[in-house]
Amino acid sequence: MSQAEAAKTTGASIKVLGSGCAKCNQLEAATFQALTELDMDTTIDHITDFSQIAAYGVMTTPALIVDGKVVSYGKVLKKDEVIKILKENRG
């Protein structure tokens, strides 16, 4: 694996923002499945602190953050949607 390929699959920052409700947990599960399918070794931080969530400018949860960028908010993404977002933001 080249260094560029390694950079794409390691050291990434994935965050799920939300209160810990069922929808937030569903988004986290779908994101985990997507990362597994893409063979990305990335931990997911689940942020429940509303002051931290607001710092991202997110007012509607759940939200998905990839490498510091808000890529989705206000809906539960399916695994395939998360895969598409990850590929677009990591491509």
Annotated active-site residue in 16, 17, 24, 77: 24
Which CATH number do you get for residue 57?
3.40.30.10
Q: Is residue 88 part of a domain?
A: no
14-60 tens-digit pLDDT: 999 999 899 999 999 999 999 999 998 668 999 999 999 999 999 99
Annotated active-site residue in 7, 21, 22, 59: 21
Q: Is residue 30 part of a domain?
A: yes
**pTM of the shown model:** 0.83
Respond yes or no: is residue 24 known to be catalytic: yes
What is the DSSP code (8-state) at residue 77? P
Look at residue 45 and give its three-state secondary structure. strand
Q: Is residue 18 part of a domain?
A: yes
For the record, the structure tokens of 91 come out as 């491509």
Q: How many residues does the chain have?
A: 91
Q: Is residue 87 part of a domain?
A: no
Q: 33: domain range?
A: 3-80
The domain tally of the chain equals 1
